[in-house]
Structure 1
Amino acid sequence: MAKTAAPATKKVEAPVTQAPAQKTAAKTATAKKAPARKAATKKAAPAALVVKEGEEKWTKAELDEVLTDLNEHAARLRTELHDQEEELAGLMRDAGDGAGHDQADMGATSFERDHELTVVNNARDMLAQTERALARIDDGTYGVCESCGNPIGKMRLMAFPRATLCLSCKQREERR
């Protein structure tokens, strides 16, 4: 009977034996993710960035120029956004004060407020695009089209550093 009991014990232990293997697989998967996080915090080496066929690899000077442009643009946008939000807050505060204003004045104030809202939203969008480009440089995905996965092209990125689509995907998007 001990022989029959031994296989039963092995059957009971079989799932326990599989569980550590699953834990090991989970640890391995976690260990594989950990270096990816570390790599994401490091800035991409210029040679690691994707280029189109026939283009030369990114040089440190070219990448530094793009980074400088993006960082300066982001700083300028933050300042403009702060100023515009203060102006918009003033317009919103004064919007309820209608004493002595005729309809034309109210219409002009409403138009100005709408205009300022549009300007603030555009500045926010530009800042988000700029910060996204900086993040893509950091994680090494800068220069890869988000639609098709092909290289965007170094010359396009130098002309428009916030580009996330290659020229053909951008043209297709604009036709819609």
Structure 2
Amino acid sequence: MKKPTPAPEAAADTLVVKEGEDAWTPAELAEVMAELEEQRAHSLEIVAEQEDELSGLMRDSGDGAGQDQADLGATTFERDHEMSVLNSEREKLAQIDRALARIEDGTYGVCESCGQPIGKLRLMAFPRATLCMTCKQREERR
């Protein structure tokens, strides 16, 4: 079971911001936390649905006897797609949980690569961000 996140009032004053940005307000942090919790609930729903779907595909796949190659190919493609979606949602859940943990421990908003502030505007637009724009762009060029 995940630990409860702190009240926005308690956490807001401990978070870093970029130079020139205003400090986090409890309302802004509450908005980010609500967005993360909403995304988390949505991802949990998708994971449950995808696991059920994948389990059905695995159960129905049998040994392939009596199926033509096109049916086997379509089944394999569908199973691979479901696994890809499931893995993507699991990764998203891990990112959300990491963001919530970082809010709790006061490291939310610090770039995991360079240690500089990520920026409040970026975090409000993409609450799961762990890298500042410079580090993210560098990562994407690789």
Question: Normalised by the size of structure 1, how large is the TM-score?
Answer: 0.74
Question: Which residue number in structure 2 is paired with residue 157 of structure 1?
Answer: 123
Larger relative contact order (Cα-Cα within 8 Å, sequence gap ≥ 6): 2
- Write out the 4+ residue segments of structure 1 that deviate beyond 4 Å after TM superposition: none
Question: Which residue number in structure 2 is paired with residue 94 of structure 1?
Answer: 60
Residue 75 of structure 2 is aligned to residue 105 of structure 1: no
1:41, CA displacement in angstroms? 7.5
1:45, CA displacement in angstroms? 2.1
Question: Which residue number in structure 2 is paired with residue 127 of structure 1?
Answer: 93
Question: Which residue number in structure 2 is paired with residue 60 of structure 1?
Answer: 26
Return the letter of the residue paired with 1:120: L
Between 1:92-101 and 1:77-86, the stretch displaced more is: 92-101
5+ residue gaps, structure 1: 1-39
- Partners of 2:100 and 2:11 in 1: CA distance: 13
5+ residue gaps, structure 2: none
CA 91–55 in structure 1, closer or farther in 2 if over 3 Å, else same = same
Return the letter of the residue paired with 1:172: R
Q: Deviations over 1:85-106 (max 9, x none)?
A: 0110110111125243111111
- Partners of 2:122 and 2:85 in 1: CA distance: 26
Question: Which residue number in structure 1 is paired with residue 39 of structure 2?
Answer: 73
Give the share of equivalent positions with the same residue, in percent.
Answer: 67
- The aligned length equals 137
Contact kept? 1:41, 1:139, Cα under 8 Å: no
- Partners of 2:62 and 2:112 in 1: CA distance: 45
Residue 51 of structure 2 is aligned to residue 85 of structure 1: yes
- Compute the RMSD of aligned alpha carbons: 1.5
1:48, CA displacement in angstroms? 1.0
Question: Which residue number in structure 2 is paired with residue 24 of structure 1?
Answer: none
Helix, strand or coil for the counterpart of 2:116? coil
Structure holding more helix per residue: 1
- Partners of 2:42 and 2:136 in 1: CA distance: 26
CA 81–45 in structure 1, closer or farther in 2 if over 3 Å, else same = same
Helix, strand or coil for the counterpart of 2:16? coil
Contact kept? 1:47, 1:57, Cα under 8 Å: yes
Q: Deviations over 1:71-116 (max 9, x none)?
A: 1110111111011101101101111252431111111001000000
Question: Normalised by the size of structure 2, how large is the TM-score?
Answer: 0.92
The higher radius of gyration belongs to 1
Question: Which residue number in structure 1 is paired with residue 139 of structure 2?
Answer: 173
Contact kept? 2:5, 2:103, Cα under 8 Å: no
